[in-house]
Amino acid sequence: MKKLVLLFSIALSTLAFSQESTAKKAGPPEGNATVGEVYGAGVSAKAEKSAMTTKKLDAKLKKSTKLENVAVKGKVVKVCDKKGCWLTVETDNNEKFFVKMKDYAFFVPMALEGKTVVLEGNVETKVTSVDEQKHYAEDAKKPQAEIDAITTPQEEIRFMASGIKVVN
């Protein structure tokens, strides 16, 4: 019986240390985000070649609020520094749109900030709630005064990326 209790104690200790070390590893994946690197399911050669500018994307979204299987080229200006689970891409006219990873299936490194990427996936115009805006502002470590100033839902472009490729 003492051996059984001892084994059980060792198993629990091992599990506790395992969970603690996993928690310490939280954060975006490591990496340099060099040209040619791919995240997620990848970007097809056809999509990379035909990637539209964000200005063209804006024009298409004025005609339809949702587009599927599109490729867009843009500059990454912000990556979630908690996990690398979302990013913000700057448009040609200096506006920004929000990108999430499809099915939360992959993350990107902080080094992606400042890089030009091709995104492949689906995009839509969506109204984002106050709570969701505040959540992302907290993830981005914005000042509390800026977070508190978020008081109305906002219509914005949301991209659900299945793959991302660094092109510059």
Does residue 71 lie in a domain region? yes
Question: Full-prediction pTM beyond 0.85?
Answer: no
The predicted-structure confidence for 43-71, as pLDDT tens digits, reads as follows 999 999 999 987 888 888 889 989 999 99
| Strands in 8-150 per DSSP E | 38-40, 52-53, 66-79, 86-90, 96-101, 116-128
In which region does residue 165 sit, left (phi positive, over 0), alpha (psi from -120 to 50) or beta (all else)?
beta
Q: Which pair of tokens denotes residue 148?
A: 């508190």
Q: Which pair of tokens denotes residue 3?
A: 């051996």
Q: What distance in Å separates the CA atoms of residue 52 and residue 105, rounded to the nearest whole number?
A: 24
Q: What distance in Å separates the CA atoms of residue 82 and residue 80, rounded to the nearest whole number?
A: 6
Does residue 22 lie in a domain region? no
CATH of the domain at 136: 2.40.50
Q: How many domains are contained in the chain?
A: 1
The predicted-structure confidence for 87-141, as pLDDT tens digits, reads as follows 999 977 788 899 999 999 999 999 999 999 999 999 999 999 999 999 989 988 8
The range of the structural domain enclosing residue 132 comes to 27-166
Question: According to the model, what pLDDT value does residue 92 have?
Answer: 75
